[in-house]
Amino acid sequence: MAKRGFFLISFFTCCAIFTACAVQESKSEVPIPENKVPTATLIKVETSPTPQPADKVLTHKPELSVTLSQAIQVFEPISPLEGILPEELKQIVSNPFLMPTEGQDDGHHGTDFSFYSFGKFSSIDNLGVVSIFPGKVSAVISDRPPYGNAVIIETNLKNLSDDYLSLLDSLDLDETIRHKSNLNCPDYSQEILEFSKTEESLYVLYAHLKNEPQLELSAQVDQGQVIGNVGNTGMSGNSHLHLEMRIGPTNATFPQMAHYDNSVTTLEMANYCLWRVSNYFKLFDPMRFFDISQTKP
Ligand SMILES: [Zn+2]
């Protein structure tokens, strides 16, 4: 499970379905959940380059129908802030996302939400922070730089609705893994090579929370579950929520993560580098998820 006590990641014992494997081989495509595989893709995957006897083709069809009949619940994102609607989020962006230079820790890797007065609220401080999707806790960070108190929650892409999978596909995220950065990083190249990319998940980070997160690593979280309160911990100048989204291999966990402080351990730093600059966890603007929810009828 642990790779040299470094970066915890579980491998899928095999390619869960041949469609997922096939998709992985084509660059930059988000894996398609088995219950969402378009008919066209199924035909493409099932059709062998050499003609197959009719009975061989037929033997595959029942397996496909079984796969397609497995119901997987899909979700659309909700607002990460209690009492603030998704369509209101753009009004309280205090620092927008700014894509970093390739492999560097510059730019702004997320969206900051803050206000002094909004609607019935006189301050964002202590406002409840909720999980925008159901998922699994991948990181519990207790007052470490730069994120302060923070939580990362993983949601398998198969649990996202078609609209959001299409959106992710349209972003055409850069797939290049980076081993070098201006950021001071321990060598993580070997760990990256060992990762499985059979399936991918959405990872959402909620940072600068007021209190130490009361969640266990790998615990299941419901959509809308309160995971903390807006605070001002870590490298933060005022109470705000830093929301960050990435697409990465499933079942990754970061038991520790930190940087920018003399107290950080090699392990914390390596995990920070993997998260921030390796591009194994592909970054995108979280507001894209809330734009789409506003334009839908
Ligand atoms: Zn931020």
For the stretch 87-134, pLDDT in tens is 999 999 999 999 999 888 999 999 999 999 999 999 999 999 999 999
- Positive or negative: CA dihedral 18, 23, 24, 25: positive
CA 107 to centroid of ligand 1, rounded, Å: 10
pLDDT at 68 (0 to 100): 52
**Cα separation, 117 vs 131, whole angstroms:** 23
pLDDT at 281 (0 to 100): 94
Highest mean pLDDT: which range of 38-42, 52-56, 64-68, 146-150: 146-150
**Cα separation, 284 vs 247, whole angstroms:** 8
Q: What is the mean pLDDT of residues 61-79?
A: 70
Residue 3 has pLDDT above 80, yes or no: no
pLDDT at 42 (0 to 100): 26
Choice between 64 and 151, residue whose per-residue pLDDT is larger: 151
pLDDT at 6 (0 to 100): 42
CA 279 to centroid of ligand 1, rounded, Å: 18
**Beta strands 128-130 and 252-253: pairing type?**
unpaired
**DSSP class of 230:** B
CA 204 to centroid of ligand 1, rounded, Å: 13
Convert the pLDDT of each residue in 140-162 to its tens digit. Answer: 999 999 999 999 999 999 999 99
Convert the pLDDT of each residue in 206-229 to its tens digit. Answer: 999 999 999 999 999 999 999 999
CA 5 to centroid of ligand 1, rounded, Å: 29
CA 241 to centroid of ligand 1, rounded, Å: 7
Residue 35 has pLDDT above 60, yes or no: no
| pLDDT-above-90 percentage for the chain | 60
CA 147 to centroid of ligand 1, rounded, Å: 9
pLDDT classification of 190: cutoffs 50, 70, 90? low
Answer for the pair 180, 278: CB distance below 8 angstroms, yes or no: no
E strand segments, the chain: 8-9, 93-95, 111-113, 128-130, 135-144, 148-156, 200-209, 220-221, 226-229, 241-249, 252-253, 282-284
pLDDT at 255 (0 to 100): 87
Give the chain's mean pLDDT.
79
Residue 172 has pLDDT above 50, yes or no: yes
Convert the pLDDT of each residue in 246-296 to its tens digit. Answer: 999 999 998 889 999 889 998 899 999 999 999 999 999 999 999 865 555
Residue 7 has pLDDT above 60, yes or no: no
The full length of the chain comes to: 297
CA 152 to centroid of ligand 1, rounded, Å: 14
Q: What is the mean pLDDT of residues 3-30?
A: 37
CA 31 to centroid of ligand 1, rounded, Å: 28
Q: What is the mean pLDDT of residues 24-46?
A: 34
pLDDT classification of 46: cutoffs 50, 70, 90? very low
CA 206 to centroid of ligand 1, rounded, Å: 10
CA 18 to centroid of ligand 1, rounded, Å: 39
| C-alpha distances in Å from residue 220, one per residue of 199, 225, 285, 289 | 19, 10, 25, 22
Choice between 37 and 124, residue whose per-residue pLDDT is larger: 124
pTM of this structure: 0.76
pLDDT at 296 (0 to 100): 55
**Cα separation, 36 vs 79, whole angstroms:** 25
CA 233 to centroid of ligand 1, rounded, Å: 12
